[in-house]
Structure 1
Amino acid sequence: MTVMAERTSQMSVEEFETIAFAAPETVTLEFINGRIGVKKVTDGDHNTIVTWLARRCMRTRPDLDLYQGQGLRVEAYREGRAKPDAVLTPEAHFAGAGEWAAPDGTLMVVEVTSYDSDTDRRDRHEKPAAYGQAGIPVYLLIDRDSCTITVHSVPDRKVGGYRTLHTAKFGEKVSVPEPIGIELDTEILKNYVR
């Protein structure tokens, strides 16, 4: 049996929220796994990918909203705070919610990788663990480094992460399972990588 060492939190969630509130709009701060993290400012290709996904979701599922910039409270143990690149919910789900909303009712979170040194740790390891623990049904990772799209589904609330992963190369069709139930033709994503 492997025993994992418990990481000491850098600060309380209240301290983090105070810092995040005062941060300039040029940075996005998150608090995952007890550590504060800075998300790199997005580039035009990154934003184009999120817009592409929004159009696909709205065309296929007009009953849903794709939010950008909505913070979520994740990780029951450490009271984490994440700002996914996009959050798919039923229409008007976050109306009246604050900057850091409960993840309940969230159907899918989306991350598009940035070209920075924290991408591997943050988007491929820490966030799937946090989103799965929060019970979010689907985590969609659009990975510009490997030119792949990975659909994480069947969240594991006890240990975090997801039980089912399906990875496809850009250019393939990808099925996003229920509760979303859409298919994405990812050919165009080849145009938005370095």
Structure 2
Amino acid sequence: MTSGAISLTTQGQGGPSAPARAPTTALEFVASLPRNPHMRVEVINSRVIVSHWGNPRHSRIISLLVTLLGPVADARGWRVWPSLDVRTAHTCEPLIPDLAIGPKGAPRWGEDEILSNGLVLVAEVVSRSSVREDREDKPVIYAKGGVPFMLVVDPIAEPPTVTLWSDPGDDGYRTVTKVKMGEELPIPHPVDCALDTSAFIRADRSRPLGPPSTAPDPTAPAPTGPPT
């Protein structure tokens, strides 16, 4: 990522106007960007983080979280939002957790975003490009933002793990419960469920596929057709 001054122009009914003031903060810079459905833009500790949406494994784990936690949320009258636009209640910085759970009437920031202190749980799936943010930065941010629980699915850890951060305070979460992927992870009241993390192991067993090989198979029988 490169940084530098950005010149913006506005245009009204009278035609183009003079260049607008260049953004001077991370929030102003993000606000000046056009919406791009192919990119995730977040502000984390005053740093603008731009990333692609997840790969197949990442997306599969998110869909499994919806499947596993959806019935729990439904039973309590909550909503489940994958890739939700969130504003942190203490800094108003934008974040996009991989999954969020909260009540139907959770307080909003404008029309399109929900304030963090109105949520019950957020979840992040760690990828190689988000290790620092998901393991270190976001637990502190979500705790200060008033989110009771943060769930971190880490398929790239050795061994893979699932971690629940809970009991938020001014300096971060006070309680951390980590299990190896495959074990049950208890989530306390008001979620009050045991998360079966073995489903994430099955999602992690996909084998990457490359282009089909064009090399001849030495074990294949020789062609028997007419010579050419």
- Taking structure 2 as the reference length, what is the TM-score of the superposition? 0.71
Residues 87-166 of structure 1: pairs in structure 2 closer than 5 A: 87-91=100-104, 93=106, 98-116=111-129, 119-146=130-157, 147-156=160-169, 158-159=170-171, 161-166=172-177
Larger radius of gyration: 2
Q: How far apart in 2 are the matches of 1:60 and 1:104?
A: 20
User: What's the CA shift for 1:92?
Assistant: 5.7
Identity score, percent: 25
What is the CA deviation profile of residues 42-81 of structure 1, one whole-angstrom value per residue up to 9, with x for unaligned ones? 12221221111112222233122110222111262x4321
State the SS of the aligned residue for 2:190: coil
Q: How far apart in 2 are the matches of 1:136 and 1:95?
A: 14
Match of 1:61 in 2: 73
Q: How far apart in 2 are the matches of 1:61 and 1:177?
A: 14
**Contact residue 84 and residue 111 of structure 1 kept, 8 A:** yes
Q: Specify the code of the residue in structure 2 equivalent to 1:70.
A: L
**Contact residue 65 and residue 92 of structure 1 kept, 8 A:** no
For structure 1, which segment, 64-73 or 146-155, has the greater mean C-alpha deviation from structure 2 after superposition?
64-73
User: What's the CA shift for 1:12?
Assistant: 4.2
**Which consecutive residues of structure 2, in runs of 5 or more, have no partner in the other structure?**
1-23, 206-228
User: What's the CA shift for 1:91?
Assistant: 3.4
**Contact residue 107 and residue 118 of structure 2 kept, 8 A:** no
Q: How far apart in 2 are the matches of 1:94 and 1:142?
A: 26
**Contact residue 75 and residue 130 of structure 1 kept, 8 A:** no
Q: How far apart in 2 are the matches of 1:149 and 1:139?
A: 11
Confirm whether residue 173 of structure 1 aligns to residue 187 of structure 2.
no
**Contact residue 70 and residue 99 of structure 1 kept, 8 A:** no
**Contact residue 57 and residue 64 of structure 1 kept, 8 A:** no
State the SS of the aligned residue for 2:116: coil
Q: How far apart in 1 are the matches of 2:36 and 2:27?
A: 19
**Contact residue 27 and residue 40 of structure 1 kept, 8 A:** yes
**Which consecutive residues of structure 1, in runs of 5 or more, have no partner in the other structure?**
1-9
The structure, 1 or 2, with the larger RCO (C-alpha pairs under 8 Å, 6+ apart) is 1
What is the CA deviation profile of residues 99-127 of structure 1, one whole-angstrom value per residue up to 9, with x for unaligned ones? 332123200000011232xx221101111
Match of 1:31 in 2: 43
Are the structure 2 counterparts of residues 12 and 188 from structure 1 closer, same or farther at C-alpha, using a change threshold of 3 Å? closer
Q: How far apart in 2 are the matches of 1:14 and 1:179?
A: 37
Are the structure 2 counterparts of residues 152 and 174 from structure 1 closer, same or farther at C-alpha, using a change threshold of 3 Å? same
Q: How far apart in 1 are the matches of 2:40 and 2:145?
A: 21
Q: Specify the code of the residue in structure 2 equivalent to 1:59.
A: P
CA RMSD of aligned residues (A): 2.1
